[in-house]
Amino acid sequence: MSRLSNCSTTPTSYFASSEFVLKSVYLVTVITLPFIIYGFYCILKVTPKHLIGTKWVLLNIHIWTTVVVVIMNVLSIPFVFFPAASGVMLGYGENLGVPPLVLTYSIQSLLGVFISAGIALLENRQNLLDTKLKIRETWQRVFMNFLNCSVAFMAIIPLYFENINNEEMIENVLEVIPCPANEFFTSRVFFVSRKPLLMTILMGIKLFVYSPQIIFYNIHTWYHLVYAQGSKVSPETRKMQYRFFIGSFYQMSVPVALFLGPVLYIGYSINTGYYNQGSRQS
């Protein structure tokens, strides 16, 4: 308690407060909600009948995008204290009695599932091309999707087998961060891991699995539509495929870009010990 009293006299930025996080998340959610609803309408009602296969792939990634938004912006709203892998949950999940580590695991795994759905979308675009370099068997495509989703759920499991003593971790964190935000001194604080290297390795495993697929499908589709001359499809069909490819690329890249900054900061912070509560929340 004395540590909290001393820290309460230290000037803090509004951007480092839980109030800023809550208001920002609520604002983003309110702005995003109409676009999510409109996206469902376009996919279900506007998608041409001859693109029925693409329709369900688009719906799949849109559903997972919505699930991630609900988990992060409604149930969780994590207020974190890096470089320690710790934080408190500000969302409605706490009121419903959902353990913080369950919410944390859900966020980490569902972000991976979202990327898996994005890979499935890119693979669907590439599979429509007149090329030999594509997966032709349905069972193989299903297996690849299953493998990607399995990585999303299983790659982070080792983090949750650690035996963490909260009191000990709090003392260790206070040696690095003398005056974290006031929320750190409540009973709601939780810790995910005390092993930065393990967290980095597990993030690296996901990148190792997902990145080559994303790079291949994007580059191969783009090259085939722009430069390849041996295609049997008409110029109009090629133009339509190119437009769909660009649309698919942006549908995945915009959410990924939004998540990429925090993920890179997490990796940098936990491995270097850098701490700036304001920049982390902003």
User: Is 99:76 a contact under the CB 8 Å cutoff?
Assistant: no
Q: Where are the alpha helices (DSSP H) in 77-180?
A: 92-95, 100-127, 138-154, 166-176
The pLDDT confidence band at residue 85, using thresholds 50, 70 and 90, is: confident
Average the pLDDT over 81-90 and give the result. 83
pTM recorded for the entire structure? 0.84
Local confidence band at 205 (pLDDT 50, 70, 90 cut-offs): very high
Domain spans of the chain? Answer: 2-281
pLDDT at 1: 46
Answer whether 86's CB lies under 8 Å from 275's CB.
no
Predicted confidence at residue 282, as pLDDT, reads 47
Judge residue 161's burial from the number of C-beta atoms within 10 Å of its C-beta, 0-12 exposed, 13-18 middle, 19 or more buried: exposed
Single out the residue of 66, 65, 104 nearest to residue 85, CA to CA.
Answer: 104
- For residue 151, the model assigns a pLDDT of 95
Adjacency order of strands within the sheet including 85-89:
78-80, 85-89, 190-193
Q: Tens digits of per-residue pLDDT, 225-270? A: 877 765 666 777 777 777 777 877 777 777 777 777 777 777 777 7
Fold category of 2-281 in CATH: Rhopdopsin 7-helix transmembrane proteins (1.20.1070)
Quote the mean pLDDT of the chain: 83
User: pLDDT tens digits, residue range 134-165?
Assistant: 888 989 999 999 999 999 999 999 989 888 88
